[in-house]
Structure 1
Amino acid sequence: MMKNFSGSPLHSNNQTSNHFRERNNKQHCLLWAVPLRFSLRGYGFCMATLFLFCFGSLFYQLNGGPPEILLGIRQYLGKSTYLDDHRQPPPGVLPFPSQVVYNRVGKCGSRTVVILLRLLSEKHQFTLVSSDIHNKTRLTTYEQVDLMKNITNIPQPYLYTRHVHYLNFSRFRVEQPVYINIIRDPINRFVSNYFFRRFGDWRGEQNHLIRTPSMKDDERYLDINVCILENYPECSNPRVFYIIPYFCGQHPQCREPGVWALERAKQNVMENYLLVGILEELEDVLVLLERLLPHYFTGVLDIFKSPHFMKMGNMTGTVRKHTPTLEALQVLYHRMRYEYEFYDFVRNQFHLTKKKIGLKSISKPPAYPPAFLQELARRTQEPLEEDEELDSDLENANSWLVQS
């Protein structure tokens, strides 16, 4: 007799055991596959995030600022953070900056401001370091690092000033100081520099002739109109492309007249400068500096308007200076079109700052409006000039400070 083993207890137990074993194996395989799938996704996400972060950081360092895409993302996501949402809002008072750099532009009133700073440093007890290097504005990478180290070792609070193109401290992981500067109508600056190089100021033309013995007479007495119209190197690009590199920086392309240098200079003004004023409104510049940097500039207008200080300024106007012809001015204006676009940008930003701070004043029109050059008389009051003899001026200023 055949027995039906399918109904036997032994077969039933084996079948049940196999069933549970097969189900457990399936569950084990499923549980093993799920973490693997998620770990691969997570790994890919982490690697992509790390790559974007490294690429963005590298791009930031190489270009001296955040790339447009990161700025766009930040604007899209908003600038708030957890701490911003869970703490008291910061006070609306500008903190006291202990590191200020004034990378002064030549022939833009820096002599006036440096002498004022000399007097103010004595009054407010901050360290003023005014470099005696006037003809080296472009630095190698090694020279940039060395200068930054020297600057950051100055006892704080300090104000460092020198004729040098903008230095990006953050590129070398050095704390970025506060930047300030002043510029001037580009043609006015050029004309003033042209004649000052040849004849100096009212302190004595003969002294200036001694200081520039290498300049031959045919160069010294070269008519400025001939220089411009016949396209002498001194009166053409890249020599007349002068102001923008001070704000663009140390990149080689900053010295090439064009849109790239112009836009980078504008970006630096917006992101890295506390204030860029214009010499045509110097008194308003001093008012704003006193408001924004009171620990450095409090009382600056009292000194600036004092008879003793004005007397010093009367001896430093450039001699033999005269206005080029209308034809020469038009040619020069065309060569300096990027300089004028930058000047107009800075001028508008300066007026906007005045408006925000509540400073009401009558704004003077540009010396050479594009309309075009209907009035040739320069409207810029002559500032104290260049820095070659700054030491003697500072001695005079210091003696006046002691007497007053």
Structure 2
Amino acid sequence: MKKKQQQHPGGGGGGGGGADSWPHAAPAGGAPAGLGGWKRRVSLLPLLRFSLRDYGFCMATLLVFCLGSLFYQLSGGPPRFLLDLRQYLGNSTYLDDHGPPPRKVLPFPSQVVYNRVGKCGSRTVVLLLRILSEKHGFNLVTSDIHNKTRLTKNEQMELIKNISTAEQPYLFTRHVHFLNFSRFGGDQPVYINIIRDPVSRFLSNYFFRRFGDWRGEQNHMIRTPSMRQEERYLDINECILENYPECSNPRLFYIIPYFCGQHPRCREPGEWALERAKLNVNENFLLVGILEELEDVLLLLERFLPHYFKGVLSIYKDPDFSVFSAFPVVEGIKECHGYQALALPRWCTRVDTATPGRHILCKGENTPAV
């Protein structure tokens, strides 16, 4: 009996049940070969379970990849988000010949029209724009037509088409009355413009027709070759007081159509044209400045349209840059016009204070407009 009790704890007995009762107990002298192999199989079960889950994940990933590849082939190129990602990262992980390159990111606004009013400093602004276009790389679109501001319907359509197809960002400038792009299915651009005290504007044009400007001493001979000498040297006060046609036509320097538009009624001074001009200024013009405050106008343009006008004020103040010359105001002009014309600048002042969202730089309650 004692021998059997001593053999049982040692595991040396012939009973198989004793050995199976404690599979976890390792004998002092090392486990038998059969028992060690069974323990290794037991220890592999957790690893086998995790491997099945990982295997399923890999299969799901492969399925997504295959579906993405199929979509890639059916759509004819990479999806848009990959193009955007490629543009953001700079370097691509796929071939460069897959589809068109990503579109150029344009500044906003990228379509600007400056339908400049004659004798309101537009030549100075255009000179600045030529310098700025080279500096900032925008497309400055100009026109050689200077004396055709009213257009037929077909002419409007053709001009709008030519402007709309220009490379963006562009700034188009021309002496032309307001154009409604949306009427002909185009994208309405942002408008800017500059107006001027009408007395100063009248004086500028009066002397310009007779004696030209800095572009050439013989400029007046080209513009008014048939003007007689006595007419060329006619005193401006006499022209006004004697009601010469050049100085008495109320529509001669009418600026409302530049904001009213191409409608025939826009050329008739009256309440209808004024109200329509005000509506267009509110809805389509980012800024309407006045020439007498040109430095303030340029500063605002630099703030609102930096991708076009950044640095314009420093260029304008450069001593090497040529600027316009002004003529003194003649009291006879004030007496003639009587300040009874439609007061667009005075209205602009009210808009500037009553509507903070608008950027219309028109000042002076005593400033006439026409």
TM-score by length of 2: 0.65
Q: Is the 8 A contact 1:104 1:162 kept in 2?
A: yes
1:337 maps to 341
Matched, 1:168 2:180: yes
2:206 maps to 194
Candidates 212, 221, 228, aligned match of 1:209: 221
SS in 1 for 2:183: helix
Q: Is the 8 A contact 1:190 1:240 kept in 2?
A: no
Change (3 A) 1:348 1:115: farther
Residue type at the aligned position of 2:330: P
Deviates most, 170-179 or 227-236:
227-236
Structure 2 CA distance for aligned equivalents of residues 203 and 155 of structure 1: 30
Residue type at the aligned position of 2:165: N
SS in 2 for 1:307: coil
Q: Is the 8 A contact 1:244 1:261 kept in 2?
A: yes
Structure 2 CA distance for aligned equivalents of residues 357 and 231 of structure 1: 40
Change (3 A) 1:174 1:290: same
Structure 2 CA distance for aligned equivalents of residues 356 and 178 of structure 1: 15
Structure 1 CA distance for aligned equivalents of residues 201 and 216 of structure 2: 21
Matched, 1:252 2:264: yes
Aligned length: 263
Matched, 1:266 2:278: yes
Structure 1 CA distance for aligned equivalents of residues 254 and 304 of structure 2: 27
Change (3 A) 1:212 1:351: farther
1:142 maps to 154
Gaps of 5+ in 1: 1-94, 371-404
Change (3 A) 1:104 1:369: closer
CA deviations 1:251-295 (Å, max 9, x no partner) are: 111111111111111111111111111111111111111111111
Structure 1 runs (4+) deviating above 6 angstroms are 355-358
Q: Is the 8 A contact 1:238 1:256 kept in 2?
A: no
Q: Is the 8 A contact 2:139 2:168 kept in 1?
A: yes
1:324 maps to 330
Q: CA deviation at 1:369?
A: 5.4
Bigger helix share: 1
Q: Is the 8 A contact 1:181 1:277 kept in 2?
A: yes
Q: CA deviation at 1:145?
A: 0.3
CA deviations 1:84-128 (Å, max 9, x no partner) are: xxxxxxxxxxx7111100000001111111111111111111100
Matched, 1:185 2:197: yes
Q: Is the 8 A contact 1:186 1:343 kept in 2?
A: no
Structure 2 CA distance for aligned equivalents of residues 197 and 121 of structure 1: 30
TM-score by length of 1: 0.60
1:346 maps to 348
Q: Is the 8 A contact 2:345 2:367 kept in 1?
A: no
Larger Rg: 2
SS in 2 for 1:308: coil
Candidates 276, 295, 300, aligned match of 2:312: 300
Structure 1 CA distance for aligned equivalents of residues 230 and 252 of structure 2: 21
Gaps of 5+ in 2: 1-106
Q: Is the 8 A contact 2:209 2:223 kept in 1?
A: no
Aligned residues with identical type, % of pairs: 68
1:7-22 equivalences in 2 (<5 Å): none
Structure 1 CA distance for aligned equivalents of residues 171 and 302 of structure 2: 14
Structure 1 CA distance for aligned equivalents of residues 289 and 329 of structure 2: 24
Structure 2 CA distance for aligned equivalents of residues 171 and 202 of structure 1: 40
